[in-house]
Structure 1
Amino acid sequence: MTLDPPTMLTLSVALAAAAALYLAVEWRSVREASLLFWSGGFAIIAVGCVLALMRGSGLVLVGVWFANGLLVVAHWLFLLGVARFTETRLSRGWYLIVVVWLAMLTLPSDQAWSKVMLMVQSSMIVLVTLRASFLLRPHGKSLSVGAVQLRYVLLGHGLFYLFKVGTAAISGTAIDLVSFRGEIIQISLVEGAIAIMLIALSMTGTERYRREQQIARLANRDPLTALYNRRALEVRAPRLLNQVARHRPGALLLIDIDNFKPVNDLYGHTAGDRLLITLSEMVRAVLPEGSLAARLGGDEFVILLANASSERVEALGTALREQFRHVAAQTFDTPTPVTLSIGATLFDRPPTSLAALIEQGDHALYASKRGGRDSIRLVDRTTTAAAPVTGP
């Protein structure tokens, strides 16, 4: 089989159609918009190659600039897909590329314009492809293997089209887009088929990694508050607890909402859920770096602190109580105030287990509630322990 234009176009149709179909099937299962854009891009490439094949066989349905220009639209859709994947908002200027392409359709379809059209179309592909590659830069964070591959495949693809622009500008270069003649066009067809395969594989790996990350995140997070659930806390807590020492105490704060039931009874469970979400946001706001927070269930939350002190625990607990009391009082009119009770434990030796540590916090929480609620009960279990502290 010779690598003549009809053969390469046929191969490109098969590869692009397969990529479009696969990504569309993936989109139906995960509903990621980036997959839909990428699938649309490959579908347009397949249509463009089919139109080019038909034109080469003497069946002319559309102008040659339309068929070849579909490649620009396809790469523009690739850029939109990458923007959605990286959660980046594109400026309106990038949408002008489609307007420029539509304006080019008014040019005469003859060989004299082939070099100009190749340079303009290739320049637009360079712009959108390099922009897409730039959006996939790591931002200081590690990317998935698929995203890294996609970044460099797009970079190489864009640089190839930049080479095409430079080569087409050389005087005497033979280019005939109408009949697919000229060395640049022959090389482009080969590179295009290879690029379709590599880009499709990279896109698939990129979204698969994203899906795996989402599944793992959902398994570790409380669905209502997005804090860690108990299972995730049990996995992450040992690392923090093993760092505890005399010079680096740890602390656990067990938090419970006082009079939470009347909120559900008077205002409905949706209002109760909103209150839980509000508390979780407050916890995130005061959570120091290197600490852990989780929802154990119901209206009970836990915070694990590293390098803690009684003053630090008191300050954090008091800030949470005061802020929560103020918000709840403004939002809900209940017979008894909706407040927080906190049971805290300060320790300088790793506990036997997280469950044992939570049980100690539970005893302190019970003492807080028994003492009138809306308070923090701190039990100091360090080797230099003083008397237990109760905060109003």
Structure 2
Amino acid sequence: MPDIMTIAACSTVLAGIMCVGMLLSWFKDGHPARLSWLFAPFGIAVPAGILLTWPEVLPGPWGLRLGWYFLTIVYGAAWTAARTLGGQRPMPLAILLPCTAVLIFSSTIGADAYMPQLRMLPRVLLFALFNGLAAREFGRMRRPQLPSATTLYWIFAAFFLFDLCRTPFALSLVSPFGPKPGEVWSIALFNFLIVLQGALMAMFITALGREQLAEQHYRLASIDPLTGIGNRRALEDRMRMLQEGHGRNGTTAVAVLDIDNFKAINDQMGHAFGDLVIADTGRMAAKVFGADNVFRIGGEEFAAIIVAATEGECIARAEAMRTRFAAFRHGSASETRTCTLSIGLASMDRADDHDSAFKAADRALYMAKRLGRNQTIMIDSQHPLEQPAGTANHRDTLSL
């Protein structure tokens, strides 16, 4: 038994060390309230480890019962930590209610001398449930900018599958995996798995926090403050990802949109009204093309990524934006006016690179301006100097 006590005591000490480490990291970050749950799993693991290692500190069987109770709360707190990292509110009652129900069950029906094996089954199911819920939360955060979220997803998914696979055997395994008397190897393995999951969680949650902060800074540097959509830097990144094959499905075109006679709007209505028109353009384009596909790249100039089944559908989407914008009245009830857009498009699929596709779309925009404004032109990315299809023979298709 001394070996078992040593193993359990070491696990408790390690949990305490990880708790202190997470607490120091929390204070270093300015102790934000929403992240207080990050060290909760490690803090709760300390009394759980003490009670499971030295159950005699409480009378009768209550040391072990409460030790297991706190251990189930540890897994629930890990799920809540995942929720808070994902920007969702904590749900303490969703942890306490099932954990308390399992405690009551193990203290009543599970305490029956004829059915002691029933104590472990609901605990294992809770471990699996909370691990699965945490994996789901981290899965929602997975994206290229947050690689630690992907790692945490696989960590909790692996432990979820482990708990799920051992559930059918929870009535026949040795303690602490089941109700039968424990052995040194089973105690060591159980403590090793808990410490391993806790250490991996602490390491990658710390990394995830840094990645989220870096992503937040990047987003602030990539958002246009007037319209709330992406800026030129964000457009470059989006087009680069598309060129590398990420998110391409069907035909992809880049569109450059410009508000017609914008200087006259500023001169006649004032710069505040001009800003209002720019903000309206950003909001409308975000609705038509999707917020992640629209970017402000100049004063009154915007760009959009259009993904559709065919080039004809790309043109139709651009036309929908142009006609909707032309029908919209900007301003308040006392002072309103309509404005128009000119739009140039070019296919990204046939372009040598994203830069040449953008230049072709920009050339198409200037062509639309020269031909009278308030129209959509699409030209070939590979032959931008040639007459665009539609400027003569397909005028009604392109609404020239």
Larger relative contact order, structure 1 or 2 (CA cutoff 8 Å, min sep 6) = 1
| Counterpart position of 1:284 | 289
Is 1:27–1:36's contact at 8 Å kept on the other side of the alignment? no
Out of 133, 136, 157, the residue aligned to residue 159 of structure 2 is 157
| Counterpart position of 2:280 | 275
| Residues in 2 aligned to 1:286 and 1:148: alpha-carbon distance in whole angstroms | 25
| Counterpart position of 1:197 | 199
Is 1:34–1:81's contact at 8 Å kept on the other side of the alignment? no
- How much has 1:327 moved relative to structure 2? 4.0
Distance 1:339 1:60, change over 3 A: farther
Query: What do residues 308-358 of structure 1 show as CA deviations (whole Å, max 9, x unaligned)?
Result: 9997786444422332344435x6335451322315376998798689668
Distance 1:252 1:144, change over 3 A: closer
Identity %: 17
| Counterpart position of 2:62 | 63
| Counterpart position of 1:322 | 323
What code does the residue aligned with 1:63 have? W
| Counterpart position of 1:245 | none
| Residues in 2 aligned to 1:192 and 1:83: alpha-carbon distance in whole angstroms | 20
Is 2:344–2:378's contact at 8 Å kept on the other side of the alignment? yes
Out of 256, 259, 272, the residue aligned to residue 256 of structure 1 is 259
What code does the residue aligned with 1:103 have? I
Q: Does 1:103 align with 2:108?
A: no
The residue correspondences of 1:15-54 to structure 2 (distance < 5 A) are 15-19=15-19, 21-22=21-22, 25=25, 29=29, 36-52=36-52
| Residues in 1 aligned to 2:272 and 2:143: alpha-carbon distance in whole angstroms | 46
- How much has 1:12 moved relative to structure 2? 2.8
| Counterpart position of 2:72 | 72
What code does the residue aligned with 2:230 have? Y
What code does the residue aligned with 2:194 have? G
| Residues in 1 aligned to 2:253 and 2:137: alpha-carbon distance in whole angstroms | 41
What is the TM-score of this pair, normalised by structure 2?
0.65
- How much has 1:75 moved relative to structure 2? 0.5
Is 1:220–1:232's contact at 8 Å kept on the other side of the alignment? yes
Q: Does 1:182 align with 2:182?
A: yes
| Residues in 1 aligned to 2:323 and 2:102: alpha-carbon distance in whole angstroms | 60
| Residues in 2 aligned to 1:273 and 1:102: alpha-carbon distance in whole angstroms | 60
Is 2:253–2:314's contact at 8 Å kept on the other side of the alignment? no
Runs of 5+ consecutive residues of structure 2 not aligned to the other structure: 245-250
What is the TM-score of this pair, normalised by structure 1?
0.66
Query: What do residues 284-326 of structure 1 show as CA deviations (whole Å, max 9, x unaligned)?
Result: 2599xxxx64201444312466999997786444422332344
| Counterpart position of 1:117 | 119
Is 2:83–2:134's contact at 8 Å kept on the other side of the alignment? yes
| Residues in 2 aligned to 1:252 and 1:174: alpha-carbon distance in whole angstroms | 65
| Residues in 1 aligned to 2:124 and 2:346: alpha-carbon distance in whole angstroms | 65
Runs of 5+ consecutive residues of structure 1 not aligned to the other structure: 243-247
Query: What do residues 134-176 of structure 1 show as CA deviations (whole Å, max 9, x unaligned)?
Result: 66569998796534443443344345556765665239x6779
| Residues in 2 aligned to 1:127 and 1:296: alpha-carbon distance in whole angstroms | 47
Distance 1:391 1:213, change over 3 A: same
